[in-house]
Amino acid sequence: QVQLVESGGGLVQPGGSLRLSCAASGSIFSSVAIGWYRQAPGKQRELVARIDSGGTTMYADAVKGRFTVSRDNAKKAAYLQMNSLKPEDTGVYYCNALRSISAHTLTDVEPGDYWGQGTQVTVSS
C-alpha cells in the first residue's frame, strides 16, 4: 500500500498562504488518486480536495478558488497550495491514497486504510 507523510503546516495570519506537501512511498503512487482531508477541532474529518491519476481535480465549495491540489509523480509527491486562508481553515490536514473515486462527486470516495500523522494548520491573527 502507499504510505504518505504530510508536511508544511504552521501558523499563518488570515489572508496568508501555505503549501502542504505529501510524500509517498510505494511504486503505485502514479496510479492512485490522492485526497486532502482536514479535521477541525471537535469536527469530523472532511475531504477538501482530490486529484486523480490523470490530474483531474475536484474541490469542496468551502475551498474552491483558494486551494489548488497538484501532484508530481516523478517525485512521488502531492501538494496543496492554500491561499487566502481563513480561521475556519484551521485543522489537521491529511493526505490519503484513495481506493476509489466517483467521477462526479467529490466526497463519493473510498479512502485508503493508511493515515499519516497529518500536519497542523492554524489560521489566526
Q: What is the pLDDT of residues 10-26, one digit of tens each?
A: 999 999 999 999 999 87
Entry field: residues in the chain: 125
Q: Which residue in the block uniquely carries the three cell numbers 504552521?
A: 10
User: How is the chain classified by DSSP, letter by letter?
Assistant: --EEEEE--EEE-TT--EEEEEEEESTTGGGSEEEEEEE-TTS--EEEEEE-TT--EEE-TTTTTTEEEEEEGGGTEEEEEE-S--GGG-EEEEEEEESEE-SS-TT-EE--S-----EEEEE--
Q: What is the pLDDT of residues 63-76, one digit of tens each?
A: 999 999 999 999 99
- Report whether pLDDT(2) > 90: no
Q: What is the pLDDT of residues 80-107, one digit of tens each?
A: 999 999 999 999 999 999 998 998 899 8
